[in-house]
Amino acid sequence: MIWYRYQGINSKGKDVSGRIHAADGDEVASLLQDQGVIIRRIEEDEDVAEMAYAAPEVSKANRFSNLSSRDFEVISDHLSDLTRAKLPLSRGLEAVSHEIENARIRSAVQKMASELDAGNDLETVLADSKAPRELCALVHAGTQSGRMTEILADYVAHTRQLSEMKNQLLMALSYPLILMGFATLVFLSILFWIVPSFISIYQDFQVELPAITLKLMQASLFLRTQWWWYLPVFLISVAGCLWFIKTDIGQEFSQKIIYHLPLVGGLLSGITVSRFSHLLALLVDNGTPFHEAMKLSGESSSNYQIRAACRQFTQTALTGEAQLAPLESLNIFPATFLRTLADHTGTSSRTEPKYSVEILNALSDMLNSQTRVRITFFASVVEPLIIIFCGTLMGFLFIAMLAPLIKLLNMLS
Per-residue pLDDT tens digits for 360-412: 788 888 888 888 888 888 888 888 888 898 889 888 888 888 888 888 888 88
Residues 309-368 have pLDDT tens digits of 888 887 777 676 666 777 888 788 877 777 777 766 544 444 444 557 788 788 888 888
Q: Name which residue leads in pLDDT, 65 or 101.
A: 101
Q: What are phi and psi of 5, to 5 degrees?
A: -105, 140
Task: Read off the pTM.
Answer: 0.67
d(CA 222, CA 204): 21
Per-residue pLDDT, 58: 36
Residues 94-119 have pLDDT tens digits of 888 888 888 888 888 888 888 888 88
d(CA 5, CA 46): 9
Task: Please state, as a whole number, how many other Cβ atoms lie within 10 Å of the Cβ of residue 150.
Answer: 17
The strand pairing partners of 353, in sequence order, are: none
- Average pLDDT for 145-150: 82
Query: Is 51 a residue whose pLDDT tops 70?
Result: no
Q: Are strands 15-22 and 2-9 parallel, antiparallel or unpaired?
A: antiparallel
Q: What are phi and psi of 45, to 5 degrees?
A: -130, 90
Query: Is 149 a residue whose pLDDT tops 90?
Result: no
Calculate the alpha carbon distances from 281 to 91, 258, 352, 353, 402 in Å: 32, 27, 10, 11, 64
| Weakest-pLDDT range from 34-43, 181-190, 398-407 | 34-43
Per-residue pLDDT, 3: 67
Q: Name which residue leads in pLDDT, 51 or 312.
A: 312
Query: Is 146 a residue whose pLDDT tops 70?
Result: yes
Mean pLDDT of the chain: 80
- Average pLDDT for 162-177: 84
d(CA 275, CA 133): 13
Per-residue pLDDT, 54: 42
CB-based contacts of 290: which residues, under 8 Å, 6+ apart?
Answer: 284, 344, 347, 348, 349, 352, 356
Q: Are strands 2-9 and 38-44 parallel, antiparallel or unpaired?
A: antiparallel
| Weakest-pLDDT range from 26-35, 62-71, 140-149 | 62-71
Per-residue pLDDT, 210: 87
Query: Is 282 a residue whose pLDDT tops 80?
Result: yes
CA torsion sign, 215 to 385 to 372 to 310?
A: positive
CA torsion sign, 114 to 120 to 122 to 127?
A: negative
Per-residue pLDDT, 115: 86
- Average pLDDT for 48-56: 42
Residue from 159, 156, 119 nearest 275 by CA? 159
Looking at 231-301, which runs of residues are DSSP E strands?
none
| Weakest-pLDDT range from 49-53, 126-130, 188-192 | 49-53
- Average pLDDT for 66-88: 83
Query: Is 228 a residue whose pLDDT tops 80?
Result: yes
Query: Is 59 a residue whose pLDDT tops 50?
Result: no
Query: Is 73 a residue whose pLDDT tops 50?
Result: yes
Q: Are 310 and 299 in contact (CB under 8 A)?
A: yes
- Average pLDDT for 275-281: 85
